[in-house]
């Protein structure tokens, strides 16, 4: 077996054999296949796709590259959630403690930013002292004592995916449906959760731009999970507009704490509660009221315990960027569009994301929104505030915002898009 033959097979639109898939995943994990060679194969997969048999085998090979966890010793049923990535998508932060407050255990393995989308671990690392890297024993301890844990996958869990995940971020191959599906599901199946709810984003700020592509990805992942004995459900949710009023790291943590305190933007609250209801139902918990757990402070209590258990200080001041630049509305009227992708690119260029897999991110960088589609704005009023420690980045970020919004006459009727578009089970 050699990697050039594997690359050529997919380059020429052939079907990879089970033996080829097993070999290339194992060889890449061991370092026998170089990053540039796996980059070429990933691009061929992006361009030419994989059939269901190939995706299932690729996922199985990723799982087999490492260990599998087991939560049978816990007294609670386990439920996990995964988002395919969006702009302002801080939902995991209030969701995990909320579901734990309602009686489930939430072993939330999360990732870092991919392309223009934010990463849950990058956000949480803006909290002083908080640690993403936990041993399996530490993860189980936090989960058992607080009900929820948000951490990075350990080195022993699907190590092939850990390498490939970082590579996809910097080689233009993030959007490949087979690689998205196998990446997500290999970690979640190996993680050992009993049930899984998938938040599959669709729209300009998502990797899936059309509802058809989102359904294909959701159906693929639901099938992979179900076949592996994990009760799996997917919600297709809108990502044409950023979620909430922030896109960045510390900015989104601050907004998440507002949600846990019973406030926060309506779209963030609505999606958090909808996903919590799905997770609790999948875990067999019928009588919980997640909306009440936000209002009465019990979700906030779990958040504080969870952050402290991972070394963080829930009372510490969050980082603030040294420089801000205000973007004003060019005219008066109704804001009818605020493009999620353009906002995500601006946040990435300001320092909230990475251009190379080894790059650091700025904790305080990002974009703050002062209006959402449907709001009436006045010429000259603040529309966005850009945050960064490196003001030389402002011009580059502003270029991505040239066509980021539409403002229509004040008498224009506006029909909002529902946050949940479809459900696949």
Of 39, 65, 83, 183, the active-site residue reads 183
Of 22, 161, 339, 342, the active-site residue reads 161
Of 163, 187, 201, 387, the active-site residue reads 187
Helix (H, G, I), strand (E, B) or coil at 266: helix
Q: How far apart are CA 388 and CA 316, in angstroms?
A: 20
Pairing of strands 366-369, 246-248: antiparallel
Residue appearing with tokens 């989960």 = 143
Q: Which secondary structure element, helix H or strand E, spans residue 134, and what is its range?
A: none
Structure tokens given for 276: 């919590």
| Cβ-Cβ contacts under 8 Å for 275 (sequence gap 6 or more) | 81, 91, 95, 197, 199, 235
Task: Tell me how far apart the terminal alpha carbons of the chain are, to the nearest angstrom.
Answer: 38
Of 82, 201, 215, 304, the active-site residue reads 82
| Cβ-Cβ contacts under 8 Å for 194 (sequence gap 6 or more) | 71, 77, 78, 79, 230, 231, 283
Of 112, 163, 168, 387, the active-site residue reads 168
Question: Helices 159-169 and 52-64: crossing angle, nearest 10°?
Answer: 120
**Cα separations (Å) of 65 from 17, 54, 59, 159, 335?**
18, 16, 10, 6, 49
Q: How far apart are CA 260 and CA 386, in angstroms?
A: 25
Q: Is 82 a catalytic residue?
A: yes
Q: How far apart are CA 25 and CA 151, in angstroms?
A: 24
Q: How far apart are CA 243 and CA 251, in angstroms?
A: 12
Residue appearing with tokens 């906002």 = 343
Q: Is 357 a catalytic residue?
A: no
406: left (phi over 0), alpha (psi -120 to 50) or beta: beta
Q: Is 187 a catalytic residue?
A: yes
Residue appearing with tokens 């990075």 = 152
Q: How many CB atoms lie within 10 A of CB 325?
A: 16
Residues β-bridged to residue 335: 407
Structure tokens given for 6: 């594997």
Tell me which residue of 12, 342, 62, 377 sits closest to 188, measured CA to CA: 62
Active-site annotation, residues: 82, 161, 168, 183, 187
């Amino acid at each position: 077996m050699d990697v050039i033959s594997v690359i050529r097979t997919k380059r020429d639109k052939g079907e990879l054999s089970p033996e080829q898939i097993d070999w290339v995943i194992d060889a890449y994990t061991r370092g026998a296949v170089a990053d540039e060679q796996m980059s070429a194969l990933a691009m061929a997969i992006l361009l030419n796709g994989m059939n269901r048999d190939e995706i299932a085998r690729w996922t199985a090979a990723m799982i087999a590259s490492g260990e599998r966890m087991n939560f049978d010793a816990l007294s609670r049923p386990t439920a996990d959630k995964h988002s395919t990535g969006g702009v302002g998508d801080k939902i995991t932060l209030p969701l995990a403690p909320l579901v734990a407050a309602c009686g489930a255990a939430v072993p939330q393995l999360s990732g870092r930013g991919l392309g223009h989308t934010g990463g849950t671990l990058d956000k949480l690392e803006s909290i002083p002292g908080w640690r993403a890297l936990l041993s399996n024993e530490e993860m189980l301890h936090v989960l058992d004592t607080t009900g929820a844990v948000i951490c990075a996958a350990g080195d022993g869990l699907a190590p092939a995916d850990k390498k490939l995940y970082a590579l996809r971020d910097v080689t233009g191959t993030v959007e490949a449906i087979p690689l998205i599906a196998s990446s997500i599901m290999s970690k979640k199946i190996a993680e050992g959760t009993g049930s899984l709810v998938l938040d599959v984003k669709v729209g300009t700020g998502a990797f899936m731009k059309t509802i058809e592509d989102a359904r294909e990805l959701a159906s693929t992942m639901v099938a992979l999970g179900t076949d592996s004995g994990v009760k799996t459900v997917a919600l297709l949710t809108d990502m044409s507009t950023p979620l909430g009023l922030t896109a960045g790291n510390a900015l989104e943590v601050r907004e998440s704490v507002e949600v846990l305190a019973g406030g926060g933007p309506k779209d963030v609250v609505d999606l958090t509660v909808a996903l919590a209801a799905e997770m609790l139902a999948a875990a067999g918990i019928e009588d919980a009221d997640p909306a009440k757990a936000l209002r009465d402070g019990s979700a906030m209590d779990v958040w504080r315990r969870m952050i402290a258990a991972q070394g963080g200080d829930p009372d510490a001041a969050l980082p603030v960027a040294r420089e801000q630049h205000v973007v004003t509305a060019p005219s008066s009227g109704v804001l009818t569009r605020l493009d999620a992708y353009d906002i995500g690119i601006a946040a990435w260029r300001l320092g909230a994301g990475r251009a190379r897999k080894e790059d650091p991110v700025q904790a305080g960088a990002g974009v703050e929104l002062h209006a959402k589609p449907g709001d009436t704005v006045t010429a000259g009023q603040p529309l966005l505030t850009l945050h960064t420690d490196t003001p030389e980045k402002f011009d580059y970020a502003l270029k991505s915002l040239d066509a980021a919004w539409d403002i229509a006459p004040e008498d224009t009727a506006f029909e909002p898009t529902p946050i949940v578009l479809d459900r696949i089970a």
